[in-house]
Structure 1
């Protein structure tokens, strides 16, 4: 059965996007070989993204590297939104509620990961106790403002457990 994995690159001060969702800062930090990212790409069977992430900034916009995993991901994409476009792209499924989005993306992923993209969708998955793992790549930069990896003012702690044999930044979520 598929697992839900929130994988993101964040700045050292905890941001996954700059002010206004700006992703241009990320370009210089995702270039080059990354064995963990390559292994992750081969383990992803579907993507579940929020509408802001799906329609937002791409650090590789207008290049051959545009899209998830630097344009190398080619598979099912599910977008959680209450406002699907009038003419949706043929290769994207728009879903109006979290339980259906999770069920459909897990079914499409088979025994691989559903890669959750977007801080808001990841937060919703955590609140619903559906997120299984978190993988964080830390970029050596301080953004100072923007979209946080996880932002839940007044919320309860979310316990994480490092996965054995993995890098210090790959965790399972403990409920």
Structure 2
């Protein structure tokens, strides 16, 4: 069965998007990265939050536009309570997290379901549906924006490091989710 993976690039101060969802900060850090490139064929489906789905793409208008700098193509499940009237090929809109994860896992087969969006990742983590987290740490400070993980009131999540990697553009840390304490 497919595992769920929250993969994301984060600023050193913990933000995955700038103020207002701005992703332009990411552009200088997109480039050759062997770990990121090796991940693409290991993804079988995407589970994406609605804000991420309709949000800013640092590669918009270029041949690198889209998921994984335009390298990934396949089934996408968008978690939203307000699906658009028109559908798109390979895109399924789902209103329920559990149903979305189940459908994405089925579509992914033995590959990963890649989770995109901080809120969807937080929900999946809270529901015990997130298996792994891969964070590429970009050498930049944003000061404000969307945090990698934000849980008002706190709650400890125990992780186990699986691997790490360094590249000229971003260091990477890969973890498995071990447990959660919602004090």
Q: Same fold (TM over 0.5)?
A: yes
Q: CA deviation at 1:91?
A: 2.0
Runs of 4+ in structure 1 deviating by more than 2 angstroms, as ranges, are 165-168
* TM-fit CA distance, 1:39: 1.1
Q: TM-score, normalised by structure 1?
A: 0.96
- Provide Cα deviations, 1:15-64, integer angstroms capped at 9, x if missing partner: 00000000000011012x11100111111000000000000000001111
Q: Which residue is 1:150 aligned to?
A: 149
Query: Could you tell me which of 167, 170, 174 is aligned with 1:170?
Result: 174
Instruction: Report the RMSD for the aligned CA atoms in angstroms.
Output: 1.0
Q: C-alpha separation between the residues in 2 aligned to 1:42 and 1:28?
A: 24
Once the 2 structures are TM-superposed, how far is the Cα of residue 166 of structure 1 from its aligned partner?
A: 4.4
Offset of residue 153 of structure 1: 1.9
Instruction: Return the alpha-carbon distance in structure 1 between the equivalents of residues 164 and 3 of structure 2.
Output: 16
Q: Structure 1: any 5+ residue segments left out of the alignment?
A: none
Within 2, Cα distance between the matches of 1:91 and 1:39?
Answer: 22
| Corresponding residue of 1:28 | 28
Q: Greater strand percent: which structure?
A: 2
Number of equivalenced pairs: 173
1:63 equivalent to 2:62? Answer yes
